[in-house]
Amino acid sequence: MSGLKIALAQLNFTIGDFESNTAKMADVLFQAKQDKVDLVVFSELSVCGYMPDDLLDYPSFIEKCEHALEAIARACDGIAAIVGGVIRNPGKGRLLQNAACFMYNGKIQHIVAKTLLPTYDVFNEHRYFQPETTSQIIEYKGVNIGIAICEDLWDVYNDFEYPVSPGQALKELGAHLIINPSASPFHIGKQSLRNRVFGGQAARFDLPVLYVNQVGVHTELLFDGSSRAVNGNGEVVIQAPSFEETVVYADFVDGKFSVGKSVPLDTDDTAQLYKALVFGIKDYFSKMGFTHAILGSSGGIDSAVVQALASAALGGDCVHPVLMPSMFSSDHSVSDAEKLSANLGNEAITIPIKSLYDGYMEALSPVFQGKPFNLAEENLQARSRAVLLMAISNKLGYILLNTSNKSELSVGYSTLYGDLCGAISVIGDVYKNQVYALARYINRHEEIIPVNIIEKAPSAELRPGQKDADSLPDYDVLDELLKHYIEEKKGIEELITMGYDQTVVNKVVALVNASEYKRYQAPPILRVSNKAFGKGRLMPLVAKYPNR
């Protein structure tokens, strides 16, 4: 068996930006040729970006994808590449296939289509693609290469087992190496899961596995890269960094990878979470052409953490907190928010909302007359703030960041057209206790978020003396229940059997189910858990919930 020098091209692609995507790949190919590389491996759907969704319904999009693949093939003179793209299905079924094209000598020499099409959580590939039913081996420079695209190596690592195993088929065909071009989104715990999958599959088939993942933000999905080379004994011998565009070289000699460049990955959940969210904000703004962010700064923990994350991602001078105290805002909330902005280098804007609120109340007095203060007046304060934030956003071109956390979104503890406004939800997949952990992590070297913000009891400050605990269970209990119900899909009876108070369980589940209509109208949420609100959790609005 001959040897190969392989480049793992962990790049940040933009959906539909064929010119930029192909230019990046051409640059990598040029440098790889100078470095005597034999084969460059790019990630899944690299020419068009993952996942184009209904852009795939447009013939012009498919034509551009085909032209991009041909352009990259022409650059493969004296070097080979595996490039992900969309091809037209030559047989019956769906019109398209998700494919990896093996290129050299200026042409596409082999096309391998994806067999296992994920259709769960955030994935819906069966909507667009026809699965492959056969496997093939590609012989290149004496090495029998098997290509298994992303899910093709996850046949036994889901809540279910696929009826076929592409990896096993490649083993039986005589593969010396399995290459896994992927578009594998990040969530907390994904690194250890990948260790189990790739180490387990390499050992299962007694074959080395090369995993190449993309980096970047595609709407709510965060792709972290973390590409790697794993030998047949399951040992990771090359590890690329997370959330970083890079190209790593691997030497495949005598049926195994030599030990190469590796970067230790963060194993601490909070450190990973911080890195993911900062990267998510930065890449979202970059790809959308945005430069400045705005947010409501209340002096509370949620807005403080989002403000700190945004400042780390964009720079303090590009983040514009707006302080909007009301008659119920405490003095320390204002001073805490001012101190935070000073620590982060943000130029804060202060606009009291009492006169605006009073104007609304005067206009509404014929309707509200004689009726006691209740949720309507509380929500009116939140909506008054949203009006100001959106006005500034429109006038100055700043992008509004939503600051609601997952605990609040779960139980509806947020105001529609108020604090639910925003272009992107930064911590909408982060539970309240994780928000506190992030705050402590941000302060690990120095006090950036004032300690008083972290230590004081959380409150929306929409009525005198209001505290979150007046309406919700303690966050230690609430977050546990929410995780069991939303992410682990446990029902009421099971939760009660686990030891949770029946009254609390019934209340929390009812709140989650009753708040679905709000989440339908929430901004896109940066996904950092294995079950985020949005496209990964589709619930009907008009339904009788079995757990209600």
Comparing 351 with 370, the larger pLDDT belongs to: 351
Average pLDDT on 373-397 reads 95
Average pLDDT on 302-310 reads 98
In a domain, 112, yes or no: yes
Q: What is the DSSP letter of 12?
A: B
| pLDDT reported for residue 56 | 98
Residue 446 annotated in active site: no
In a domain, 484, yes or no: no
Which of 264, 287, 305 is where one domain is finished?
Answer: 264
For the domain that residue 460 is a member of, what is the CATH number? 3.40.50.620
Residue 114 annotated in active site: yes
For the domain that residue 33 is a member of, what is the CATH number? 3.60.110.10
| pLDDT reported for residue 542 | 87
Residues 257 and 281 in one domain: no
Residues 384 and 420 in one domain: yes
Residues 239 and 282 in one domain: no
In a domain, 503, yes or no: no
In a domain, 299, yes or no: yes
> From the candidates 114, 171, 339, 490, which is the catalytic residue?
114
pLDDT at 547 over 70: no
| pLDDT reported for residue 462 | 58
8 A C-beta contact, residue 44 and residue 50: yes
For 249-259, how does the pLDDT look when each residue is reduced to its tens digit (9 = 90+)? 999 999 999 98
In a domain, 67, yes or no: yes
- Taken in order 71, 74, 78, 84, the sign of the CA dihedral is positive
Which of 469, 500, 519 is where one domain is finished?
Answer: 469
pLDDT at 151 over 80: yes
> From the candidates 24, 44, 171, 287, which is the catalytic residue?
44
For 437-477, how does the pLDDT look when each residue is reduced to its tens digit (9 = 90+)? 999 999 999 999 999 999 987 765 555 665 666 678 999 99
Average pLDDT on 380-386 reads 95
Q: How confident is the model at residue 123 (pLDDT cuts 50, 70, 90)?
A: very high
Residues 60 and 155 in one domain: yes
pLDDT at 329 over 70: no
> From the candidates 48, 76, 101, 150, which is the catalytic residue?
150
Q: How confident is the model at residue 543 (pLDDT cuts 50, 70, 90)?
A: confident
User: CA–CA separation, 146 vs 253, rounded Å?
Assistant: 16
Q: Among 70-84, 228-242, 322-336, 460-474, whose mean pLDDT is lowest?
A: 460-474
Residues 315 and 186 in one domain: no
Residues 250 and 286 in one domain: no
Place of tokens 């096993």: 168
Average pLDDT on 494-523 reads 95
| pLDDT reported for residue 142 | 95
User: CA–CA separation, 506 vs 547, rounded Å?
Assistant: 8
8 A C-beta contact, residue 180 and residue 210: yes
Average pLDDT on 277-303 reads 97
Residues 107 and 85 in one domain: yes
| pLDDT reported for residue 333 | 82
Domain that holds residue 147: 4-264
Domain count, the chain: 2
pLDDT at 548 over 50: no
Average pLDDT on 285-314 reads 97
In a domain, 189, yes or no: yes
Residues 253 and 279 in one domain: no
pLDDT at 154 over 90: yes
In a domain, 394, yes or no: yes
User: CA–CA separation, 51 vs 46, rounded Å?
Assistant: 10
| pLDDT reported for residue 159 | 84
Q: How far is CA 252 from CA 129, 174, 201, in A?
A: 32, 17, 18
In a domain, 99, yes or no: yes
Residue 33 annotated in active site: no
* CA-wise closest residue to 32 among 249, 177, 206, 201: 249
| pLDDT reported for residue 465 | 60
| pLDDT reported for residue 126 | 97
User: CA–CA separation, 211 vs 10, rounded Å?
Assistant: 10
Which of 430, 453, 469 is where one domain is finished?
Answer: 469
For 480-508, how does the pLDDT look when each residue is reduced to its tens digit (9 = 90+)? 999 999 999 999 999 999 999 999 999 99
- Tokens at 337, concatenated: 């928010």
Q: How far is CA 85 from CA 52, 98, 181, 377, 396, in A?
A: 11, 6, 11, 53, 39
For 209-244, how does the pLDDT look when each residue is reduced to its tens digit (9 = 90+)? 999 999 999 999 999 999 999 999 999 999 999 999
Cβ-defined contacts of 196-201 (< 8 Å, 24+): 196/157, 197/153, 197/154, 197/157, 198/153, 198/228, 198/230, 198/236, 199/230, 199/234, 199/235, 199/236, 200/157, 200/234, 201/153, 201/167
Residues 213 and 358 in one domain: no
Residues 60 and 171 in one domain: yes
List, in sequence order, every beta strand (DSSP E) within 340-435. 349-350, 399-402, 424-425
